[in-house]
Each structure stands twice: as C-alpha cells, then as structure tokens.
C-alpha cells in the first residue's frame, strides 16, 4: 500500500476545476474518509455532503474515478488501485459547490412519478393483510430498500440525453407502489410513468442496476412498469 | 406528444422488432440459399415474379421496417441531437413514408 494517495477533487461550480491534494493512506480507508481528511486538515473550504456514514442515508454519493458511488462505503482499495483518486459531484445534476450536487430535480421527479402512497383505506378499517410470499409483495420488496442516493440517476445515459426523463430511482419507487395492494393511486401513477419522460424511454442499458449500492434493479422495476402501462397505450381513459 | 401516443409508439416498435427478427432471418437465409449469379434485381425477380406469398411476406417486412426505423430515428434525434417536437415527428413520418414507398416499388415489381 502506497503511503499517500493523490486526490483530485472538484472545486467550484459547473465551471470549476480539479484541485490536487495528497492524503495519507490508511487501512480500510473509505472515499468519504479521504474527503473528510481534506476538509479537516488541508482545506476547510471544501464543501461536501454526508450524514450517517454507514450506508443508510444516501447523502454522500459522488463521482469517484468517473463512476457514481456512495462514498461512505466505497473503500479506496477498490477504486484507486494506482493510488489516484478523482472525486467530483454527481453527474446529471447541477453543481452547488465543490462535491455537492443539487438533488432538487432528482427528488421532484419522484413526486412527478406519483411516488406518494395513496391510501385506499381509512383508520376505521382493519389492517390490510399482505402475504409476504405474494407475487406483488415480492416485487415491492425487491425495490423498497432504495436510499435515494442518486447514484442510478447520475449513472443513467437516458437522463443525460432526455432532461424530462424521470430516471431509475423515481420509476423504481413508482413500481414499488404499483406493486402495493393497498395503494389507490394507480391510474394516475401509470399515466405519469408512461411515455417519453417515463418507463418507455429506458433503453435497458442497466448502468443503474450495475452501480446501485443497495444492489437493487431499477431496470427490472422499469420493465414491470412497461408491462403495467399497457392500459395507458391501449385502454380507456384520459392520457 | 401525449404519454398515450408515446406508449403506443413504444409498442409499435416492440411489435415490429419481433416481426423484423422473423423477416430478416427468412430474408438472409433466402439470400444465402437462393442466390447463384450475384445479388441482382433481375435474378431476384426471375425467382419471385408473380408470387403472391413472397409479395405478402415482403409487404409485411417493408411495413415493419418503415415503422420500426422511423420510430428509432425519432428517438435518436431526440436523444443525440435534442431534436424533438413537431418538426422531428414530421421528419420521422416522412422517413416512414419514404421507406414504405421504396419498398412498395419492389413489391409492385413482384406482383404487377
């Protein structure tokens, strides 16, 4: 293991540039450890975002050596074999400053994809019995652990090419709700996720699935939406 | 375009892709099997002239290719050139009609 790591970190806004730092190598060092070292020891003006440090909150994702990663659980060993590390803000989002990307549109698209649960029962009703082994429940389970880190969105070429595209995370969220037997919002949701901004734009390139730190498959969820939206193409009702 | 029309275009492209998988396979296998003196219109027509089944097969092929190709080019125009909207839709429709017209000429030569 080399004694130091040469780190290029993005500084400034969209028109910024990379700045070089030397950071001591440590055993089991994560990329977030490296960024934190720079901010605490070398340059307190470096802006970055993190919260939980244990892979739960989805705050710390950055572009690491060209690929979006959750930095708190990405070991330097895995991504910087030649002792060089390049960290930049997530792609496909505006840069706020340095390593901080503006995730507003990313989350707004969850709302556009009707990612809100729409209750079909009132508090007077009994609890819904959803069998854990039912097909729909298993589909929902497969996608439900998303932490909203934005890695899939930053990895997606269709997001880059088509600014209206809702993106893998929002569509994955919609699919977990389409698979939720208790939800009453399906017609509006299926209309929201169909078409050019929705599931039909996905080219199944699977960058989202390859890079999702939670090992989810948004591609699979989007394929589910393509099946579920047949009614939008050929059924009755407003489009 | 509305989500409904976009979703229909997606289905049209999927269905024509399935047709093309079949048509292209038959098309290429026939070329490999049947062509003896070079791939020329005269030789093909000598073999297929008056054949309604071949005309019907190629009518399906041409239709699928024109629909599939135009939808795909429209998507590429949107994603790679940021060319979207009515002008891109119109250009794609013209391409579909153009491919269909070129193919219709060949089919007409078989049966007319």
pLDDT tens, B37-91? 888 888 888 888 999 999 999 999 999 999 999 999 999 999 999 999 999 999 9
Q: Cβ of A3 under 8 Å from any chain B Cβ?
A: no
Q: What is the ipTM of this complex?
A: 0.85
| pLDDT tens by residue, A12-36 | 999 999 999 999 999 999 999 999 9
* CA separation for the pair B9, B71 (Å, rounded): 7
User: What residues 19-48 of chain A have any CB closer than 8 A to a CB of chain B?
Assistant: none
According to the model, what pLDDT value does residue B107 have?
94
Query: Average pLDDT of chain A?
Result: 96
Percent of all residues in chain A with a pLDDT value above 90, rounded to a whole number:
93
Chosen for mutation from A194, A203, A236 (greatest number of chain B CBs closer than 10 Å) is A194
Report the residue of chain B nearest A231, measured CA to CA: B4
How far apart, in Å, are the Cα atoms of A104 and each of A67, A107, A110, A116, A141? 21, 5, 10, 16, 26
Cβ atoms A177, A115 nearer than 8 A: yes
According to the model, what pLDDT value does residue B39 have?
86
According to the model, what pLDDT value does residue A143 have?
97
According to the model, what pLDDT value does residue A239 have?
44
Q: Select from B1, B11, B78 the Cβ nearest to the Cβ of A233.
A: B11
Averaged pLDDT for residues A125-139: 94
Distant-in-sequence, close-in-space partners of A39: CB < 8 Å, separation ≥ 6: A46, A48
CA B34 from centre of chain? 22
Q: Select from B1, B7, B79 the Cβ nearest to the Cβ of A233.
A: B7
Report whether pLDDT(A237) > 70: no
Averaged pLDDT for residues A162-172: 97
- Which three-class secondary structure state does DSSP give residue B88? helix
* pTM assigned to the model: 0.92
Chosen for mutation from B1, B2, B3 (greatest number of chain A CBs closer than 10 Å) is B3
| pLDDT tens by residue, B53-64 | 999 999 999 999
Cβ-Cβ contacts under 8 Å between A and B: the total is 46
Work out the angle at residue A80's Cα, subtended by the Cα atoms of residues A218 and A84, and round it to the nearest 5 degrees.
125
How far apart, in Å, are the Cα atoms of A236 and each of A191, A223, A224, A232, A233? 12, 22, 20, 8, 9
CB distance B80–A161 less than 8 Å? yes
Averaged pLDDT for residues A78-91: 94
């Amino acid at each position: 293991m080399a004694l130091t790591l040469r780190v290029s970190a993005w500084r400034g806004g969209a028109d910024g540039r990379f700045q070089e730092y030397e950071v001591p190598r440590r055993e089991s060092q994560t990329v977030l450890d490296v960024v934190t070292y720079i901010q605490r020891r070398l340059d307190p003006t470096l802006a970055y975002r993190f919260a939980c440090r244990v892979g739960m909150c989805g705050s710390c994702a950055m572009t690491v050596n060209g690929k979006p990663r959750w930095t708190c659980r990405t070991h330097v060993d895995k991504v910087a074999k030649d002792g060089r590390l390049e960290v930049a803000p997530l792609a496909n989002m505006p840069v706020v400053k340095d390593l901080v990307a503006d995730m507003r549109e990313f989350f707004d698209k969850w709302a556009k994809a009707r990612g809100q649960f729409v209750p079909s029962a009132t508090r007077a009703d009994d609890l819904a019995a959803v069998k854990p082994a039912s097909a729909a429940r298993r589909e929902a389970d497969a996608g439900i652990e998303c932490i909203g880190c934005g890695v899939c969105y930053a990895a997606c070429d269709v997001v880059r090419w088509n600014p209206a595209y809702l993106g893998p995370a929002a569509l994955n969220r919609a699919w977990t709700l389409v698979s939720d037997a208790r939800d009453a919002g399906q017609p509006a949701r299926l209309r929201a996720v169909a078409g050019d901004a929705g599931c039909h734009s996905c080219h199944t390139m699977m960058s989202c699935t390859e890079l999702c730190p939670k090992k989810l498959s948004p591609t699979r969820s989007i394929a589910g939406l393509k099946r579920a939206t047949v009614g939008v193409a050929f059924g009755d009702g407003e489009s | 375009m509305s989500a409904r029309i976009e979703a229909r275009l997606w289905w049209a492209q999927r269905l024509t892709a399935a047709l093309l998988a079949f048509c292209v396979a038959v098309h290429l296998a026939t070329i490999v099997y049947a062509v003896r003196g070079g791939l020329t219109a005269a030789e093909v027509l000598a073999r297929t002239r008056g054949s309604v089944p071949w005309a019907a097969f190629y009518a399906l092929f041409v239709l699928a290719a024109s629909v599939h190709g135009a939808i795909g080019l429209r998507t590429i125009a949107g994603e790679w050139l940021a060319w979207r909207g009515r002008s891109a839709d119109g250009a794609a429709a013209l391409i579909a009609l153009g491919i269909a017209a070129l193919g219709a000429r060949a089919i007409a030569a078989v049966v007319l």
